[in-house]
Amino acid sequence: MKKVLIATLLILVVSIIPIFAQGASESSVKLGFIGPMTGDYGNYGNLISKGALLAIEQKNAKGGIAGKIQIELIVEDSEGDPQKGLAGIEKLASSDKIVALIGPVFTGVAFAVGERVQNEGIMMVTPSGTHKDITDIGNYVFRTVASDGLQGDVSGHYFYEKLGIRKLGVLYVKNDYSQGLYEGTKASFESRGGVVTIAETAQIGDKDFKTQLTKIRASNPDAIYIPNYTAEMAQILEQATQLGIKIPFLSSDGFSNPEIYDLAGDYTDGVIYVGPTQVKESSDYKKFVADYTAKWGFAPDSFATNAFDAANILFETLEKVYAKNGKFDRKAIRDTFAATKDFPGVTGTVNFAENGDLVAYQGVYKVEGKTPKYIGTYTVVDGELIEIK
Amino acid sequence: MTRGPPSVAEVYLIKEPIVGSIAEFFQHLMNGLTLGGIYALIALGYTMVYGILKFINFAHGDILMVGSYIGLFTFDAIRGQTMGPWTVIAFFIAMLAGMLFSAGLGMAIERIAYKPLRRATRLAPLLSAIGVSFILSNMAAWMWGTKSRKLDYPFDNSPIYLKGVSITPHQILILAVVIVMMVALKLFVDRSRIGKAMRATSLDQDTAKLMGIKADKIIAITFAIGSALAATAGFLIALEIKVYPSMGTMTGLKAFVAAVVGGIGNISGAMLGGILLGLLETFGVALLGIPYGLRDTIAFVALIIILLVKPEGLLGKAEKEKV
Amino acid sequence: MFNFILLILIYTAIFALMAIGQNLITGYVGLLSLTQAGFFAIGSYVTAILSVTYGWNFWLTVPMAALISSFFGLLIGLPTLRLKGDYLAIATLGFGEIVRNILNNWDSLTNGPMGIQRIPMISLFGIQISPYKKWGFLVLVWIFVLVAYFLFDRLAKSRLGRALEAIREDEIAASSMGINVTRYKVWAFILGAAVAGVAGSLQAEFILSVTPGAFTFMVSIMVLCMVVLGGMGNFKAVILGAFIIQFISYFPQLVGLSNVIPPQFKQILFGLILVVMMIWRPQGILGREKRSAPRRLFRSGGDV
């Protein structure tokens, strides 16, 4: 018993030491990142955090903020779990004393952490949390990705008007991302007169979709909508082939993760999906992709690109705040961030709406030979689908 | 929308899948049978171990997973670039490698984590097994990453259509292997000396020992065989569901339910239970409209029902409890 | 940093409540039940739904959470009575997964995978106990733990406790001595469920949102580890066990190594704890409560 107590005390003492190691030094400013770094969705967190890291490296190489303060990114693993995400923000907020948060990656974690940062007064900008209600949490929550609300709107309208789909079959996963998109798309699709003839569900992590696909096949819709993550979509596409399904597939921005081509290969051919807008081949964007791929050895996805932009906007914000106040005040950072106007990001010109949403459009892609081809930029205004040339 | 070049089968046997209820029924039947075959293979491992030690090896599903990884690595290493007859041979060699490794792993785990607890309470080996399961799946995640890895088909897996039902060569492979394994096992247990020794040990360990049977050796062999069978199942389904660290957990658990439903300790029972569960799950969702999210629940509900109605399982014999 | 330690202590307390319940079921009756995650989830959702949709005060939701969880404890206890160690484990594991599945799919009640957000904070006599200001919450949860500890400890030392232990040692002998095995087993389940439900309420008030994904069987396993590590049949010990397990869980973040040490590490550690403890020291670090009469703790045969 005594041995146990002594051991416990020793452990406690050892862990206190980092407190003293904590230099809130003038020579660095800390940003936080929360995302799934390990676990089944580690690929997302990995890709996205590296977008931010690249930006930081480039900025630091130029001297950092005000030419002298280096930026540090502290990455916390959420494992896709809100509880871990909260522990992460707890540590980032109180121990690391971050001045702003990039992330979280997943919608569910974003909700939980969002409440916390709103209460704590630390601004957060998510590069991938698309659920429409996230920015409703408060004025400290922003995103550099278009919200689901828009994606659902554009998807539903586009399928009806441009693709001529009248009967839609859906296979979605019971999680906030998929279900949110399903509900949004269904609403806009049906508002035009289309009918969702069958909607089957699955659980995240499921591998076998044959039963649902068989039922969908029997109901014979014009197209099948699968707004899911890559792992599930790869399985679905493969199994659809095995079942002899020739009905075209439609998807969402989850499809923009290049991993899908590794997992599903030729099965991706012909899939049409709605995702983030393709940057008009700007030289900045090309440079970003080149830099990213050169540094990390794989190509970025759209969310990583959003994170890159988010980071750079933050740098501009930090510069302004530091120039004005000589220090990094969290509230000032939030205010300045919100006031960002026409920022030239690699994803295009960035502006934030009142509620922190990204003023954006959606892009439509069609996969041909494992390469996504850009079809067009769209948005929905007052219930009307508009193409942006 | 194109799906690659048509296969020989598609060209000569092509019939478009007829959308309709008969075709649908047979499709579900096909899906259910193959799923059931897999459950059966895994259930065999559980049931054999239980028969001898009266203990559920929680880590069985994870041994399956490790075997699949080893098979994958072997296959990728030896198969060469082009697809041909060698690919199929390489596939089976890889499967064998996975089976052997799992057999060894199973024996090692038995020796290290279960043997010392044979005389302990009922709870102890169970907790140990849960611990082993955890260690295995997390070590796999640590060493090999959590991303799923693709196991490529050694042959063209384009489906054949038979009256509107699409059957893939993969499904045929599964059924073939399952049948071969089950027959082989039955013959082994019924006819061979070791098989007899296994049956004797499971009936009454102490008496078997008195008769000169080395119980420890028999137990080790049991673990080896059960693990090897599980590895086979894992390698077969990996073609479809990919290889990843937690691939064994849920499937393993459901195979256990299958073993119980069929009659734990009874080899034919495991086979029956497996097939039954596969069919139940597929048709439960398809015909009874059970929401897909509750598919796993079907297995557990079946478990509770069987334990309430006939706890020894469909083919099991009721055990009299000795006071 | 200090705040982070407070966080760990708060999680410790919440889990300690569940561990206390687990201790009764596994430590005293000797049943390997893996239900705590399920009751934890139920308790959390009860509080979430009642306070968000119906505007109930937290303090009223707590007894409801306990009650509804107990009801399910009864529901699970009755059919699984007959099951022996191994089967019970699987059946109870299945229960937890069923609960999670239902929560994930019953959109109209639980909002499905989105979960329920914006749960109002606890207020006591007009003072808000915010999870962001740790101290208040910390004191509150530990009061709950102390109350639970005293309650369960009393119970364990009473006739109920002795009956439970008799059942563990030899069910048939106990039954032939007139102990209604059924009734006592079910009671153990009900009590274990109730306290896990309360833990769930507190969890909902701390995270201020509930999602089905937070209640996987990992929770049940962790609780089990706490009991195994601390000492089966010893309430003080399981509280210690709760602390150690939570500490291990958050250790990498504590020392700033969370990107170097993968999360698998702590899970491997939990697995090792189970295996090693069983082989080397099955009675846990602190062992069972000392009593006047000498007890045979572990022997072959019987349930535990």
| CB contact C118 to A (< 8 Å) | yes
Q: Are residues A71 and A141 in the same domain?
A: yes
Task: Return d(Cα A111, Cα A301) in angstroms, integer.
Answer: 23
Task: Answer whether the bond into residue A104 is a cis peptide, omega within 30°.
Answer: yes
Confidence of residue C45 (pLDDT cuts 50, 70, 90): very high
Confidence of residue A280 (pLDDT cuts 50, 70, 90): low
Confidence of residue B3 (pLDDT cuts 50, 70, 90): very low
Copy the structure tokens of residue A96: 């690391």
Angstroms from A354 CA to nearest CA on chain B: 38
Q: Of the given ranges (A295-309, B153-167, B205-219, B287-301), which has the lowest mean pLDDT? A: B287-301
Confidence of residue A1 (pLDDT cuts 50, 70, 90): low
Arithmetic mean of pLDDT, C115-133: 76
What percent of chain B has a predicted confidence (pLDDT) above 70? 89
Copy the structure tokens of residue B132: 């082993």
Q: Are residues A232 and A296 in the same domain?
A: no
Instruction: Find the chain A residues whose C-beta atoms sit closer than 8 A to any C-beta of B.
Output: 38-40, 42-43, 174, 200-203, 205-208, 210-212, 214-215, 217-218, 220, 231, 235, 238-239, 241-244, 246, 248, 262-263, 266-267, 269-270
Provide the mean pLDDT of chain C: 83
Do the beta carbons of residue C138 and residue C10 sit within 8 Å?
yes
Q: Which of C254, C257, C264, C290 is the mutation pick for testing A, counting most A CBs within 10 A? A: C254
Question: Which has the higher per-residue pLDDT, C10 or B11?
Answer: C10
Task: Return d(Cα C99, Cα C88) in angstroms, integer.
Answer: 16
Q: Of the given ranges (B5-14, C179-188, C284-293), which has the lowest mean pLDDT? A: B5-14
Give the count of domains, chain A: 2
CA distances (Å), origin C257, targets A18, A101, B131, C142 = 11, 19, 25, 29
Chain B residue nearest residue A231, CA to CA: B148
Task: Return d(Cα B78, Cα B66) in angstroms, integer.
Answer: 19
Would you say residue B93 has pLDDT above 70? yes
Task: Return d(Cα A184, Cα C49) in angstroms, integer.
Answer: 24
Residue A1 lies in a domain: no
User: pLDDT tens digit string along A85-117?
Assistant: 888 888 888 878 899 999 899 887 888 888 889
Chain B residue nearest residue C104, CA to CA: B293
Do the beta carbons of residue A378 and residue A364 sit within 8 Å?
yes
Whether A81 sits inside 8 A of C259 (CB atoms) is: no
Residue B236 lies in a domain: yes
Q: Identify the pLDDT of residue A5.
A: 66
Q: Identify the pLDDT of residue B4.
A: 42
CA distances (Å), origin C230, targets A307, A310, C225 = 44, 47, 8
CB-based contacts of A349: which residues, under 8 Å, 6+ apart? Answer: A342, A343
Residue B184 lies in a domain: yes
Residue A166 lies in a domain: yes
* pTM for the full predicted model: 0.80
Arithmetic mean of pLDDT, C49-73: 90
Q: Are residues A224 and A303 in the same domain?
A: no
Q: Identify the pLDDT of residue A250.
A: 95
Question: Which has the higher per-residue pLDDT, A359 or B229?
Answer: B229
CA atoms within 13 A on the CB side of A156: 25
- Residue among B60, B230, B52 nearest B132 (CA): B60
Confidence of residue A324 (pLDDT cuts 50, 70, 90): confident
Q: How many CB atoms lie within 10 A of CB C258?
A: 23
User: pLDDT tens digit string along A17-76?
Assistant: 544 444 345 578 899 999 887 666 677 788 899 999 999 999 989 888 888 888 888 888
Whether A270 sits inside 8 A of B28 (CB atoms) is: no
Helix (H) or strand (E) holding B288: none
Q: Which amino acid is at C21?
A: G
CA quadruple A102, A108, A109, A115: dihedral, nearest 10: 90
Q: Are residues A380 and A334 in the same domain?
A: no
Arithmetic mean of pLDDT, C70-79: 87
Q: Are residues A159 and A131 in the same domain?
A: no
Question: Which has the higher per-residue pLDDT, A303 or B307?
Answer: A303
Whether A215 sits inside 8 A of B148 (CB atoms) is: no
Query: Could you confirm whether domain C2-297 is CATH 1.10.3470?
Result: yes
Question: Which has the higher per-residue pLDDT, A21 or A342?
Answer: A342
Task: Return d(Cα B125, Cα B104) in angstroms, integer.
Answer: 19
Angstroms from B95 CA to nearest CA on chain C: 27
Whether B147 sits inside 8 A of A43 (CB atoms) is: yes
Whether C279 sits inside 8 A of B116 (CB atoms) is: yes
Do the beta carbons of residue C83 and residue C91 sit within 8 Å?
yes
Domain harbouring A233, CATH code: 3.40.50.2300
Angstroms from A315 CA to nearest CA on chain C: 24
Q: Are residues A247 and A134 in the same domain?
A: no
Q: Of the given ranges (A113-122, B184-193, B299-308, C123-132), which has the lowest mean pLDDT? A: C123-132
Give all strands (DSSP E) within B138-268, no chain letters: 160-162, 165-167
Q: Which residues of C touch B58 (CB under 8 A)?
A: 89
Q: CA torsion sign, A294 to A297 to A299 to A300?
A: negative
Would you say residue A223 has pLDDT above 90? yes
Quickly count helices (H) and strands (E) in chain B. Answer: 12, 2
Residue A2 lies in a domain: no
Would you say residue B215 has pLDDT above 60? yes
Token pair 């509930």: residue: C210
Would you say residue A122 has pLDDT above 60? yes
Q: Identify the pLDDT of residue B256.
A: 87
Token pair 């999870």: residue: C131
Interface partners of chain B (CB pairs < 8 Å, 3 or more) are A, C
Q: Are residues A255 and A169 in the same domain?
A: yes
Q: Which amino acid is at B102?
A: S
Give the domain range for residue A227: 149-275+362-388
Give the count of domains, chain B: 1
Would you say residue A244 has pLDDT above 50? yes
DSSP-assigned beta bridge partners for residue B247: none
Whether B166 sits inside 8 A of A40 (CB atoms) is: no
Give the domain range for residue B219: 43-254
